[in-house]
Chain A
Amino acid sequence: MCVQGSLLYSFTHAASRIVDSVDGDLWIISKGTPTFDYVTPIPERYAYLALGVDGVRDAGKGIAGWAPIERPNGDKMLTMVVGVEKQYRGRLPDVADLEADKGFGDSALVIDASDARTLGYGGASKTAQIAGRRGYFLAETSGFASFLGSPIIFASYVDAHRYLRMERTQTSFIVLHVRAGYDPVAVRDALRSRMPDVDVWESSELSWRSRLFWLVQTGAGGALTIAAVLGFGIGLVLVAQAIYSITAENIEEFATMKAMGASDRDVHFVILVQSLTSGIIGGLFGLAVVEPFAVLLRVMVSWLSVPFWMYVIVVGALVLLCILASLIAVRPALGVEPARVFRA
């Protein structure tokens, strides 16, 4: 349950990782874009238009798009190229500074370490061909592993523009900062009315929209959601079955308790304690192996993370599960006829 929950959590966060990392209050993207991953070019003049709206402090541009990379073994693979102007990059890798530090004029690339291994860019092999243009992997980063299987490659804004062969007057998205004292929602609404042919979102809105897209509108997210729910359901069945068996095995003892005048509440209490005891013992064993299991899983699912609060949620779910299981398992004990105690 903990791993399933973590997979779901990590999946949704991986789906909005770039949006959450970029430093901006508002985003302008092409009309009807369901998720960051599917942005399409828009004219960069929207940045200048936005600057004319009251409350907008500054505007920056970003590039995101799909381009093929030629792997060292000659295979080709689709990658997502991302480049954001320096002052808006937020927590994205600082490719421009890296480029300068290493003495490169351009063409520096950064990739998540796990994706570098997937592509085959280990050891000395650092030169890449992206959409027929040369680039150099100068550093590896972490936390930006692709959840789609297509690696994310970070470049400077200018290089990303070049790799994607976009028209000079086009960009993928525009990021805005709102002046202090202005309500971002009010500014967003003003932008929307000024620019009806593009979408304007707050960062949190676009982040949530991206997560929701992958979670609800794709089979992958749906499968993970169902798996998480099934995890709870299977746990419920297993615990209920175990407690039911224990109750059935000890039915004579429950009959004795009832003969002595034990109320239904007493019987419920005993079975709840049994359920919680076995659930907690089993749960502790399970939680103890979550982290080792997650380490193994990260070989395949590099974006998997298990936040500490997931353990708290799982313990809460476990308690709920034990309560539900005890409600199912209590039935034979409540139905037992106390008069059977007089049968030898």
Chain B
Amino acid sequence: MLSVELRGVTLGFGRGPARVTALDRVNLVLDPGIFTVISGPSGSGKTSLISVLGAMIDPDEGALMVEGRDVAKFSARQRSAFRREKIGYVFQSFRLMPALNAEENVQLSLEIRRVGNTKQLAKNALEIVGIAAKAHLRPDQMSQGEKQRVAVARAIAHKPAIVLADEPTASLDAANGAQITRLLMNIARDKERVVAIVTHDPRVLPEAQRVVRLEDGRVQGDRRWRV
């Protein structure tokens, strides 16, 4: 099983006096099967952390280690392949393709990932998130909660080892937020995957098995429950 480790990760933006440190010597190991919530106030470095975890930004110092390899040393092609094969993303604003229906959105992600039998896999993923009946609808014909379910289906359809979600409940009401949270927790628990979400939504915390609290780019707390 794959685990993800941040070793002394420091990341900053800007230069000179205008430089802002987003992450400051962050050490973190994310294990499979654990539903991890990374919380903290706005500006605490949550988005920077998930960008590094998602292999989209290289840290200025430290390393993202996956299977014992430093991702910063990957070539651009290896990095794309790593993201393609190992990670599923759920974005705050869903980021579904507006011209495609739910099933096609999931299929597109599978095609990018060079997975065969995309139609069947897309249907399976939509069934897992409980939205198979609306597979033919385009994003503009769906509610916010439905869109986020499709986004989750897209993230898990290719069975990635790591699922990263950025504020997945931010634009959802309480009921939909709870459903999405449980869905992600079940994926972590049942499928033995690394699942991490960054959020400042307190409604998510009761479902978390682990809560990492960030403040000013530093890990200020790391608590585990029911593991």
Which of A19-27, A119-127, A257-265 makes up part of the contact surface? A257-265
CA distance A295 to B216 in the complex (A): 74
Known: A341-B95, A342-B166. A262 touches B47 (CB 8 A): no
- CB A304 to nearest CB in B, in angstroms, measures 42
What's the dominant secondary structure at chain A's contact region? helix
CB proximity to B under 8 Å, residues A252-275: 252-253, 256-263, 266
Q: Which residues on A are within 8 Å of B, measured CB to CB? A: 252-253, 256-263, 266, 337-339, 341-344
Known: A261-B84, A342-B56. 16 other contacts (CB 8 A): A257-B108, A257-B112, A259-B54, A259-B83, A260-B83, A260-B89, A261-B113, A262-B80, A262-B112, A263-B80, A263-B84, A341-B89, A341-B95, A342-B47, A342-B50, A344-B93
Interface presence of B167 (CB below 8 A): yes
Give the distance in Å from the alpha carbon of A344 to the alpha carbon of B166 in the complex. Answer: 9
A342-B197 Cα distance, complex, nearest whole Å: 12
Q: Quick one: closest B residue to A262, CB to CB? A: B112
Number of interface residues of B (CB under 8 A): 27
> Contact mask B135-163 → A, CB, 8 Å, 1/0?
00000000000000000000000000000
Residues of B within 8 A of A260 (CB): 83-84, 89, 109, 112-113
Residues of B contacting A341 with CB < 8 Å?
Answer: 56, 89, 91, 95, 166
Q: Do residues A342 and B91 form an inter-chain contact, with CB atoms below 8 A?
A: yes
* B112 contact set on A, CB distance < 8 A: 257, 260-262, 266
Indicate with 1 or 0, residue by residue over B19-60, a CB within 8 angstroms of chain A CB atoms.
Answer: 000000000000000000000000000010011001011000
Task: Verify if B174 is at the interface (C-beta below 8 Å from A).
Answer: no
In the complex, what's the smallest C-beta–C-beta distance from B71 to chain A, in angstroms? 13
Q: Which chain A residues border B209 with CB–CB below 8 Å? A: none
4 nearest A-B residue pairs (beta carbon): A261-B84, A261-B83, A339-B56, A256-B95
12 contacting pairs across A/B (C-beta < 8 A): A253-B97, A260-B83, A260-B112, A261-B82, A261-B112, A262-B80, A263-B84, A266-B112, A338-B83, A339-B54, A342-B47, A344-B170
